[in-house]
Amino acid sequence: MSNITTSGELREYLCAAISGVVNGTLDPDKARNITKLASQINKSFNSDVKIAKVLMESGKLAGELGKTPIKNTKGISE
């Protein structure tokens, strides 16, 4: 799988990595690094979901998941 674009594809990729460790075709350290990166992706997705929930609860339209701006906004990082 060269381009992971959905959470289901990410899970599929991680399951393949687990299988690779079990059958000896993937180094456990490499699998550990893959898992750490996948965890960061999941945390980022969870943040988008939480932001959308807060916006919707306050009566605002939530943006598209995965499109949350990350640039510094005046006042936030000061």
Domain limits, the chain:
30-64
- Which residues lie closer than 8 Å to 40 by C-beta, 6 or more apart? none
Under DSSP, the state recorded for 62 is: P
In this prediction, residue 16 carries a pLDDT of 93
pTM for this entry: 0.66
For residues 13 and 4, the answer to whether their CB atoms sit within 8 Å is yes
One digit per residue, the tens of pLDDT, for the chain of length 78 reads 568 888 888 889 999 999 999 999 999 999 999 999 989 988 988 988 998 899 899 998 887 877 777 676 565 544
